[in-house]
Amino acid sequence: MSIFVTPQTKILIQGITGSFGARHAQLSIEYGTQVVAGVTPGKGGQIFEHKGVRVPIFDTVEEAVKATGATTSAVFVPPPFAADAILEGVDAGLDLVVAITEGIPVNDMVRVKRAMSGLRTRLIGPNCPGLVTPGEGKDSHGGCRIGIAPGYIHKKGNIGVVSRSGTLTYEAVFQLTSRGVGQSTCVGIGGDPVNGTSHLDVIKLFMADPETHGIIMIGEIGGAAEEEAAEWIALHGTKPVAGFIAGATAPPGRRMGHAGAIVSGGKGTAQAKFDAFRAAGIGVAATPSEMADTLLRLMK
């Protein structure tokens, strides 16, 4: 089992004709993802073709959904237009929108969050690597890859991974796969201060998924999302969780990498997050290289 998506999920790609969107559409098709539509205003009626797979392009998400039955979108739209692209997916009634775009203005994302309040569509991102549910085939092909994660490092199995950092997601996945341990679903939630899906949202789904037996949770300085997840795990957690926090050496008041990775007002420090992890019984990895081993020790 998996969370959010399965190998049967039908995906549309907003911005499929741009160089970035096109390249990752190709990689998703090669992975076996069911890419059924592309959306680029003004290019409706064209065909995106790769290795024998012909993907029709539509002018709007609504048209693409009606014609193909797509339920999930990957957004590869430039920052000035990305918020409207997300809301177009919401208006079309998609189950899931995965916003890969980096650099969306915070005010735009506040507008998006308000508009989505109470509606059925879930947003992952923005500024995220997306998610992967590995498949059964060679190198886990035949799964569902949405976004920019390297599909070939994944292996089908029973560990859930959730992270604010894309590269640390890949590191955790590679460590697991190198040890012969597969993953149920790997979710990059993004590093922006205003995003759609939190650590806690994903943790709850992993805890409820019978095929997920252990979890790696990767956070970073800034905000309180990791502490909130740890507090919930302390009360309701039923599976082993290992955690890592990036940015322990970052000076207060200086943003490090992601827009949300900033310690201000004495809040959001790495130490506070590590303390919350330990209080919740989460295994703490001292360095990124220890993430998989920390979880595997807990599972023994």
Of 232, 188, 176, nearest to 208 by C-alpha is 232
Of 219, 284, 278, nearest to 246 by C-alpha is 219
In angstroms, the CA 247 to CA 214 distance is: 24
Q: Is 258 a catalytic residue?
A: yes
**SS3 per residue for 246-294:** ECCCCCCCCCCCCCCCCCECCECCHHHHHHHHHHCCCEECCCHHHHHHH
List alpha helices for the chain, DSSP H.
19-31, 61-68, 79-91, 106-116, 166-178, 199-208, 225-236, 270-279, 291-299
Cβ–Cβ < 8 Å for 89, 98: no
Residues 141, 154, 199, 258: which is the catalytic one? 258
In angstroms, the CA 38 to CA 58 distance is: 6
Q: Which residues are tagged catalytic? A: 258
